[in-house]
Amino acid sequence: MSVVDETTEAPTEATPPTPETAKPRRGWVSLYAVAFGLMLAAGVALAASSLGSLRSIGLLWFSAALSSVAIVVAVVSILVPRHR
């Protein structure tokens, strides 16, 4: 008999978690969708800025601000637990 044979345990049947013992579900899909929309808007602002030959950096700052807000919203959408 080898060491591996001695240390293996018999498989046990796992019981599915009940609603009382299950971890609370985290994340809001709607907030994540808002963050995705903000990133799309940031991309549009960046494209518009580049098409304007970067005459003004206002659209670049606007794009950067939208990207930053999108990142914050995406993180919040993951950290905030959902209501039951």
Enter the pTM of the model: 0.63
Q: Identify residue 16 by its one-letter amino acid code.
A: P
- Of residues 49 and 17, the one with the higher pLDDT is 49
pLDDT at position 16 over 70: no
Q: Which amino acid is at 40?
A: L
Q: Does the structure show a pLDDT above 90 at 42? A: yes
Residue 37 and residue 39: Cα distance in Å, rounded?
5
Whether the Cβ atoms of residue 64 and residue 22 lie closer than 8 Å to each other = no
Tell me the torsion sign for CA atoms 41, 66, 74, 76: negative
Whole-angstrom distance, CA of residue 32 vs CA of residue 77: 6
Predicted confidence at residue 54, as pLDDT, reads 65
Let me know: does 14 contact 63? Beta carbons within 8 Å. Answer: no
Confidence bin at 24 (pLDDT 50/70/90): low
